[in-house]
C-alpha cells in the first residue's frame, strides 16, 4: 500500500496549497515521480519480506508527514499575525523536505530489491501460479449450464466466413475454462473444424509459451519463427483456437497476428476475467458474460457431486445440503470445493451444520482445494491504483447493497484516488468502480436510467478474499464483537501502530478505539449514545450517522484532520417543547468553531426520524473551504445572509436540505460549482419564501430537487428577520399540527411558486418535485422551457388538478419521466411534446384514465413501467406497444406489476381507496424505488 500512501500524501499537499497559498508544487512533483517508480515496481509477486519492510517504512513516513502538514497548514489558515503564519509555513517546508529525503532513499532500496527479483520465479506461496482451469472439472461444473453451452456452440458454428473472435468473460471460478473445454471437445465442433488448438495465457504472460502450446511442441526456434510456423500451419484451413485465461489487451496484441483470415469460417474462443480485454478482442459481437448459478442449478451440482456419488443420505442431510448450496452464492468453484470437503468429513449432522454456518470461511481456508488462489489472481493482477479501492469493500457488511453515492463520497476523502486533469475526484471514483466491475471483482445491483451504477455488491467468497488481504495489509480491520474478543484485541493492537480503517458494530467496540491512530472509523450498528469520548485524534473519516446522540458531541471539534463527518443527534430546540417563550438567539446546535475543521469535505447531519424540531445552525457551517458535500436535514441558519468576508466555496458539489428561505441569488453566488441541490422544508418554509427563488447563478447545477417535509407537527420559524430585529433578538418559532388537505380540483393556494425560466439554472438535467406543493399542471410549461432537462420526477401530488394538458413545446429533451402518486385523471399530450422520451414510469397513479395514444409515435420510447394503476392504463400501454410494432417494426417493453381495482366507479373525491396520504417514507426508500423503476429495462 506504499503507492496508496504516497498518493494520499500528494492529496494532502494539494489541499495544503489550496488552504494556505504556499507553493508546494516542487514537493508534489517529486512525489509524483516516486509514485511512478513504485507503480512499476509493484508487479513483483509473492511474499517478499524485504519489500514488505520497505513498504512499511514508506507508509509510516507518508502518514506521519500528512498529519504534520495538516497541523501546520491549519496553523497558517488560523494565524492571527504574520509571524505565526511564517513560522507555520517554514515548518511545512521543513517537514516535507525531511519526508521526501527519507521516501526517496527508501524507494531507491525498493528499486534495487525489486530489480533483483525480476528474474526469479514466483515462490511456491505465490497466488499467481494456479490458473482457474486447474480446479474446474467439466463433469462437475457444467451441470445446469446446458443453455449457455448451446448458445456458445451456435456462435461458433454459425455466422459468416470471416475469422471471428468469440469471448467468454466472468469472475474466477465461474466456469469459463470448463465451458471452453467442453466446446473444444464437442463431437460436432471436432467434425466441423479442420484444426483445433488451445493454449493458456495466464497472468504470467509469455508469448513463446503460448505459441509452443498452440503448436503442441517443444522447440529452440526464435519466437518469430514459431509465429511464422503457426501461421503456415493454420493457413487455408478452418480452425478453432481456444485462448484461455487471457488478462491484458497487450497479451492479445502479441499473438493476434498469428491467426490468418482465410475466409473459411475459422473461430477464436477467448476466456478472460476482464470485460475490457473481451470487448477489445471480440469481432464486434458483445462478449458472453457467464452468470452465477441459481439455487436449483447450485443444488443440482452439489447433489450430483455428493448425494449421487456418495450414496443415500437422510432428508436431514439434504436440507443442510440445500442451505450450503444457497450460501455458495452460485459460484461453481465454491460448490465444488465444499463438495470435496463434505466427502471427507464424518457424516454427522453437527459436522455438516458447522460447514453450512461457515461456508465462505471454509471455502477460503480449505488448503487442498485452494479456492482462494483462483480468486486471488484477480486481486494481484490489479493495477496499483485499484488495489486500495478493492480492499475498501472490506468496510461494508456481508451481502450489503452498497450505495455507489456513499462509496464515492468515502473514496473521495480517503486520499488514495489519483487526481486526473480535467476530471473531478468523483468522476475518478466512478471510473474505478466500473473498472472493478469489468474485472469481475464486484457486481452491479442497480443501474440508473442513464446506465450509471447506483448500487453494487461483492460475492461472499470474493469478500472473504477482500477481508483477508485487507487485514494482511492492515488496510481495514473489522471488529466483530465479544464473541471474537481475542482477534479484536489483536486487530486493534495492530491498528494502533499504523493508520488502519476500522469498522465496528457496537458501542463498546468504539471504546476499544480509544487512543488509536485509526485513519477511519465507520459504525454499522445503530444505537442510542449518551457520551462519546473522541480520543482518536488522527481520524479522517468518522461515520456515526446510524447512531443517535443527545447533543452535538463537542469532542468532534478536536479532530482537526477530519475529511468526512456523519452525525445524528437531537436538536436543542426540542428542549423548548411546550414553552410559549421565544427561543433565545444564543441557541444553536453546532458551535461556531465548527469552521476550525478546515479540511472537512463531507459533512452530514441527520435528525432522528420522525423529528418535529429543526436544527438551528450557525452560518459558519458555510465557511469550511474544502467542503464538497453538505447535508443538513431540516434546518434554519442563524445569520445566513452573506457578508463581505464570506468565503466562496469553490469545491462545494452537493448541497442537500437547504431551507427554501435561503434560495436567493446573493446566497447562491457562494457556490459557483454546485452540481446537486435539494431544497427542503415544511410548508411554511416554502410559503414564506415564494418571491426569493433565484437559481440563475448556479451555472454548473445539474440536479435540483424540491422536497416538502410534512411531519405530524412542526416547530417552524415564523419569520426570518422581523422588521426592526437585530441578530441578538430571540428567534420566534410556531408549533402547530399540520393537516394535509388534499385538493384534487386544483383550487388550493400553491405552497411553491415556480420561478421564471430564466431564474432556473440553464444546465439543469434532472428536476424532482416531491410533496404536496399544489402547483397547477399548466405551470409545468415553465419547466419545459429548460434547454437541457432530461429527467423529470413528480411525486406525492406535487401538481394538482384532474387534467394535465401539455402545452406549447412540451419537453423537447426529456428522456425519463416518473409520475408517482399523482392524482390526475386525464393526460392530454402528443408525441411532439415528448419527442425523445425513452422511459415512462407510472406508479400509484390510481385515477389516471390512460396514457396518451399519440405516444405510439415517439420513436425513442423503450419502456413503459406501470405499478398500481387501473387496467385501462395497462390497456393503453399495450395498445401503444402494438402500434409501435405495426407502424415502425420496432418493440418496446411494457412492465406491469400490481393493478389498482376501485371498489366502485366513483369520482376521485369520493373514492377513499384511491387516495394515499402516508408520506413518512424515508428518502432512501424513495430513491431505491426510483432506481428500481429505472432499472427495469435492464
Counting every residue, how long is the chain?
Answer: 938
Alpha carbon 585 to chain centroid distance? 41
Question: What one-character DSSP code corresponds to residue 137?
Answer: -
Taking only the tens place, the pLDDT of each residue in 629-657 is 999 999 998 876 655 556 789 999 999 99
Q: Is 350 exposed, middle or buried (0-12, 13-18, 19+ CB in 10 A)?
A: exposed
- Label residue 582 by pLDDT band (50, 70, 90): confident
Stated as kind and residue range, the H or E segment containing 703 is strand 703-708
Asked whether 626 and 601 are in contact (CB, 8 A), the reply is: yes
The whole-number average pLDDT for the span 851-878 is 96
Taking only the tens place, the pLDDT of each residue in 719-763 is 655 445 566 677 778 877 766 656 666 667 788 888 888 888 899
Indicate if the pLDDT at residue 187 is higher than 60: yes
Stated as kind and residue range, the H or E segment containing 299 is helix 295-302
Give the end-to-end CA distance of the chain in Å, rounded to a whole number: 37
- 223-232, 541-550, 558-567 — most confident range: 558-567
Q: Which phi and psi angles does 39 have, rounded to 5°? A: -60, -45
C-alpha torsion angle, residues 349, 370, 472, 429 (rounded to 10): -100
d(CA 278, CA 276): 5
Taking only the tens place, the pLDDT of each residue in 108-117 is 887 887 777 6
d(CA 510, CA 486): 16
Of 446, 425, 525, 443, nearest to 482 by C-alpha is 525
Indicate if the pLDDT at residue 532 is higher than 80: no
The whole-number average pLDDT for the span 871-894 is 95
What structural domains and CATH numbers belong to the chain? 1-116 (1.20.5.4130), 145-289 (3.40.50.300), 295-478 (no CATH)
Of 272, 286, 277, nearest to 377 by C-alpha is 272
d(CA 7, CA 801): 56
List Cβ neighbours of 706 (8 Å cut-off, separation of 6 or more).
660, 679, 752, 768, 769, 770, 771, 773, 798
DSSP per-residue letters across 323-390: HHHHHTTT-HHHHHHHHHHHTTS---HHHHHHHHHTHHHHHHH-TTT-HHHHHHHHHHTS-TTTHHHH
For the record, the C-alpha cell of 88 comes out as 507555520
The whole-number average pLDDT for the span 518-543 is 78
Taking only the tens place, the pLDDT of each residue in 348-396 is 888 888 888 877 766 666 544 456 777 777 788 888 899 999 999 999 8
The answer to whether the bond into 145 is cis (omega within 30° of 0) is no
The answer to whether the bond into 610 is cis (omega within 30° of 0) is yes
Taking only the tens place, the pLDDT of each residue in 212-242 is 888 877 677 888 888 888 888 898 899 999 9
List Cβ neighbours of 54 (8 Å cut-off, separation of 6 or more).
2, 106, 109, 110, 113
- Label residue 604 by pLDDT band (50, 70, 90): very high
For a pLDDT cut of 90, what percent of the chain falls above it? 33
List Cβ neighbours of 685 (8 Å cut-off, separation of 6 or more).
659, 660, 661, 716, 717
Q: Which of 94-98, 338-342, 789-793 has the lowest mean pLDDT?
A: 338-342
For the record, the C-alpha cell of 766 comes out as 434532472
Stated as kind and residue range, the H or E segment containing 867 is strand 863-867
- For 728-749, what is the HEC assignment? CCCECEEEEECCCCCCCCCCCC
Asked whether 480 and 487 are in contact (CB, 8 A), the reply is: yes
Asked whether 457 and 482 are in contact (CB, 8 A), the reply is: no
- Label residue 706 by pLDDT band (50, 70, 90): very high
Q: Which residue has better confidence, 154 or 50? A: 154
Q: Three-state DSSP class for 409?
A: helix
Q: What is the pLDDT of residue 38?
A: 82
Asked whether 19 and 595 are in contact (CB, 8 A), the reply is: no
Structural Rg of the chain based on CA atoms: 31
- Label residue 175 by pLDDT band (50, 70, 90): confident
Indicate if the pLDDT at residue 495 is higher than 50: no
d(CA 512, CA 489): 8
Q: Is 114 exposed, middle or buried (0-12, 13-18, 19+ CB in 10 A)?
A: buried
d(CA 230, CA 490): 57
List Cβ neighbours of 319 (8 Å cut-off, separation of 6 or more).
none
d(CA 845, CA 822): 6
Q: Which phi and psi angles does 673 have, rounded to 5°? A: -115, 15
Q: Which residue has better confidence, 355 or 89? A: 89
Compute CA distances 792 → 204, 216, 751, 938, whole Å: 50, 61, 19, 20
Q: At which residue does the C-alpha cell 464538497 appear?
A: 628
Of 755, 742, 763, 773, nearest to 911 by C-alpha is 742
For the record, the C-alpha cell of 527 comes out as 444505537
Asked whether 55 and 109 are in contact (CB, 8 A), the reply is: no
DSSP per-residue letters across 161-199: SS-EEEEEE--TTSSHHHHHHHHHH-HHHHHH-SEEEEE
Q: Three-state DSSP class for 717?
A: strand
Indicate if the pLDDT at residue 880 is higher than 90: yes
Alpha helix ranges (H) inside 603-699: 665-668, 683-687
C-alpha torsion angle, residues 387, 388, 393, 396 (rounded to 10): 160
- Rounded to 5°, the CA angle 584-588-593 comes to 130
Taking only the tens place, the pLDDT of each residue in 403-421 is 999 999 999 999 999 888 8
Of 402, 621, 624, 628, nearest to 522 by C-alpha is 402
Q: How many helices (H) and strands (E) does the chain have?
A: 30, 32
Taking only the tens place, the pLDDT of each residue in 454-491 is 999 888 878 888 888 888 888 888 775 443 444 443 44
Largest CA distance in the chain: 97
Question: What one-character DSSP code corresponds to residue 106?
Answer: H
Q: At which residue does the C-alpha cell 475469422 appear?
A: 163
Taking only the tens place, the pLDDT of each residue in 421-458 is 888 898 999 999 999 988 888 888 888 766 788 999 88
d(CA 590, CA 612): 18
C-alpha torsion angle, residues 341, 345, 348, 351 (rounded to 10): -60
Indicate if the pLDDT at residue 927 is higher than 60: no
Q: What is the pLDDT of residue 903?
A: 67
- Rounded mean pLDDT of the chain? 82
d(CA 920, CA 472): 44
Indicate if the pLDDT at residue 21 is higher than 50: yes
d(CA 776, CA 781): 10
Asked whether 6 and 103 are in contact (CB, 8 A), the reply is: yes
For the record, the C-alpha cell of 866 comes out as 406501470
Quick count: other Cβ atoms within 10 Å of Cβ 493? 11
Q: At which residue does the C-alpha cell 469459463 appear?
A: 176
Q: At which residue does the C-alpha cell 457431486 appear?
A: 305
The whole-number average pLDDT for the span 300-322 is 80
Stated as kind and residue range, the H or E segment containing 268 is strand 267-272
Question: Checking DSSP bridges between strand 453-457 and strand 443-447, what pairing results, if any?
Answer: antiparallel
Q: Which residue has better confidence, 220 or 265? A: 265
Of 667, 743, 738, 729, nearest to 698 by C-alpha is 667
d(CA 371, CA 141): 14
Amino acid at each position: 500500500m506504499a503507492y496508496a500512501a504516497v498518493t494520499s500524501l500528494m492529496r494532502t499537499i494539494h489541499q495544503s496549497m489550496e488552504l494556505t497559498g504556499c507553493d508546494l508544487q516542487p514537493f508534489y512533483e517529486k512525489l509524483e515521480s516516486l509514485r511512478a517508480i513504485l507503480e512499476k515496481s509493484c508487479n513483483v509477486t509473492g511474499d517478499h519480506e524485504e519489500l514488505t519492510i520497505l513498504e512499511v517504512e514508506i507508509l509510516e513516513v507518508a502518514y506521519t508527514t500528512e498529519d504534520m502538514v495538516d497541523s501546520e497548514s491549519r496553523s497558517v489558515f488560523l494565524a492571527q499575525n504574520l509571524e505565526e503564519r511564517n513560522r507555520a509555513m517554514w515548518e511545512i517546508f521543513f517537514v516535507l523536505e525531511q519526508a521526501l529525503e527519507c521516501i526517496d532513499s527508501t524507494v531507491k532500496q525498493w528499486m534495487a530489491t525489486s530489480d533483483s527479483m525480476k528474474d526469479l520465479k514466483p515462490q511456491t506461496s505465490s497466488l499467481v501460479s494456479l490458473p482457474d482451469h486447474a480446479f474446474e472439472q467439466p463433469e462437475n461444473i457444467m451441470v445446469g449450464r446446458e443453455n449457455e453451452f448451446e448458445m456458445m456452440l451456435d456462435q461458433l458454428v454459425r455466422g459468416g466466413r470471416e475469422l471471428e473472435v468469440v469471448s467468454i468473460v466472468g469472475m474466477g471460478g465461474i466456469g469459463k475454462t470448463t465451458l471452453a473445454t467442453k466446446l473444444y471437445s464437442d463431437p460436432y465442433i471436432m467434425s466441423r473444424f479442420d484444426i483445433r488448438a488451445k493454449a493458456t495465457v495466464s497472468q504470467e504472460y509469455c508469448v513463446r509459451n503460448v505459441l509452443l502450446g498452440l503448436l503442441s511442441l517443444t522447440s529452440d526456434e526464435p519466437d518469430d519463427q514459431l509465429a511464422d510456423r503457426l501461421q503456415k500451419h493454420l493457413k487455408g484451413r478452418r480452425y478453432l483456437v481456444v485462448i484461455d485465461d487471457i488478462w491484458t489487451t497487450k497479451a492479445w496484441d502479441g499473438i493476434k497476428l498469428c491467426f490468418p483470415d482465410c475466409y473459411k469460417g475459422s473461430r477464436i474462443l477467448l476466456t478472460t476475467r476482464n470485460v475490457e480485454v473481451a470487448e477489445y478482442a471480440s469481432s464486434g459481437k458483445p462478449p458472453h458474460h457467464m452468470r452465477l448459478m441459481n439455487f436449483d442449478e447450485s443444488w443440482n451440482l452439489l447433489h450430483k457431486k455428493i448425494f449421487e456419488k456418495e450414496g443415500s443420505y437422510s432428508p436431514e442431510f439434504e436440507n443442510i445440503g440445500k442451505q450450503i448450496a444457497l450460501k455458495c452464492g452460485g459460484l461453481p468453484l465454491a460448490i465444488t470445493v465444499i463438495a470435496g470437503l463434505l466427502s471427507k468429513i464424518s457424516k454427522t449432522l453437527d459436522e455438516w451444520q458447522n460447514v453450512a454456518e461457515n461456508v465462505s470461511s471454509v471455502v477460503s481456508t480449505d488448503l487442498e482445494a485452494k479456492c482462494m488462489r483462483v480468486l486471488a489472481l484477480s486481486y494481484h493482477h490489479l493495477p496499483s491504483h485499484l488495489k486500495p479501492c478493492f480492499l475498501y469493500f472490506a468496510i461494508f457488511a456481508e451481502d450489503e447493497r452498497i450505495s455507489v453515492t456513499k462509496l464515492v463520497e468515502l473514496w473521495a476523502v480517503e486520499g488514495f484516488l489519483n487526481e486526473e486533469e480535467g476530471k473531478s475526484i468523483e468522476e475518478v471514483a466512478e471510473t474505478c468502480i466500473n473498472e472493478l466491475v469489468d474485472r469481475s471483482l464486484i457486481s452491479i445491483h442497480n443501474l440508473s436510467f442513464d446506465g450509471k451504477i447506483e448500487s453494487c455488491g461483492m460475492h461472499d467468497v470474493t469478500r472473504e478474499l477482500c477481508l483477508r488481504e485487507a487485514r494482511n495489509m492492515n488496510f481495514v480491520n473489522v471488529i466483530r464483537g465479544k464473541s471474537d474478543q481475542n482477534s479484536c484485541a489483536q486487530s486493534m493492537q495492530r491498528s494502533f501502530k499504523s493508520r488502519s480503517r476500522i469498522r465496528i458494530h457496537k458501542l463498546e467496540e468504539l471504546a476499544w478505539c480509544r487512543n488509536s491512530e485509526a485513519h477511519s472509523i465507520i459504525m454499522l450498528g445503530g444505537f442510542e449514545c449518551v457520551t462519546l469520548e473522541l480520543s482518536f485524534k488522527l481520524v479522517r473519516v468518522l461515520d456515526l450517522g446510524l447512531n443517535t446522540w443527545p447533543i452535538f458531541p463537542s469532542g468532534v471539534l478536536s479532530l482537526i484532520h477530519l475529511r468526512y463527518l456523519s452525525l445524528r443527534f437531537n436538536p436543542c430546540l426540542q428542549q423548548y417543547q411546550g414553552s410559549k417563550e421565544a427561543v433565545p438567539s444564543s441557541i444553536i446546535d453546532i458551535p461556531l468553531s465548527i469552521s476550525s475543521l478546515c479540511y472537512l469535505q463531507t459533512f452530514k447531519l441527520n435528525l432522528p426520524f420522525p423529528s418535529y424540531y429543526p436544527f438551528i445552525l450557525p452560518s459558519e457551517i458555510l465557511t469550511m473551504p474544502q467542503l464538497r458535500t453538505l447535508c443538513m436535514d431540516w434546518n434554519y441558519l442563524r445569520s445566513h445572509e452573506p457578508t463581505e468576508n464570506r468565503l466562496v466555496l469553490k469545491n462545494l458539489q452537493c448541497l442537500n436540505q437547504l431551507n427554501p428561505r435561503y434560495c436567493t441569488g446573493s446566497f447562491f453566488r457562494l457556490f459557483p460549482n454546485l452540481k446537486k441541490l435539494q431544497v427542503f422544508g415544511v410548508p411554511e418554509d416554502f410559503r414564506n419564501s415564494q418571491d426569493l427563488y433565484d437559481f440563475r447563478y448556479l451555472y454548473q447545477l445539474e440536479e435540483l430537487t424540491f422536497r416538502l417535509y410534512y411531519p405530524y407537527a412542526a416547530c417552524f420559524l415564523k419569520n426570518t428577520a422581523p422588521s426592526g430585529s437585530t441578530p441578538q433578538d430571540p428567534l420566534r418559532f410556531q408549533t402547530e399540527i399540520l393537516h394535509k388537505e388534499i385538493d384534487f380540483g386544483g383550487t388550493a393556494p400553491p405552497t411553491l411558486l415556480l420561478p421564471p425560466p430564466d431564474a432556473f439554472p440553464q444546465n439543469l438535467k434532472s428536476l424532482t418535485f416531491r410533496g404536496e406543493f399544489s402547483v397547477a399542471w399548466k405551470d409545468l410549461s415553465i419547466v419545459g422551457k429548460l434547454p437541457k432537462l432530461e429527467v423529470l420526477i413528480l411525486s406525492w401530488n406535487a401538481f394538482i388538478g384532474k387534467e394535465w394538458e401539455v402545452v406549447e413545446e412540451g419537453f423537447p429533451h426529456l428522456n425519463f419521466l416518473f409520475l408517482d402518486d399523482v392524482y390526475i385523471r386525464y393526460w392530454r399530450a402528443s408525441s411532439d411534446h415528448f419527442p425523445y422520451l425513452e422511459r415512462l414510469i407510472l406508479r400509484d397513479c390510481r385515477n389516471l384514465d390512460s396514457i396518451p395514444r399519440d405516444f405510439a409515435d415517439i420513436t425513442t420510447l423503450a419502456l413503459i413501467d406501470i405499478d398500481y394503476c387501473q387496467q385501462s392504463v395497462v390497456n393503453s400501454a399495450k395498445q401503444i406497444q402494438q402500434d409501435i410494432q405495426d407502424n415502425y417494426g420496432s418493440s418496446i417493453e411494457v412492465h406491469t406489476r400490481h393493478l389498482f381495482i376501485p371498489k366502485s366507479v366513483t369520482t376521485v373525491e369520493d373514492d377513499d381507496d384511491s387516495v394515499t396520504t402516508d408520506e413518512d417514507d424515508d428518502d432512501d426508500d424513495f430513491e431505491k424505488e426510483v432506481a428500481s423503476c429505472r432499472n427495469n429495462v435492464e
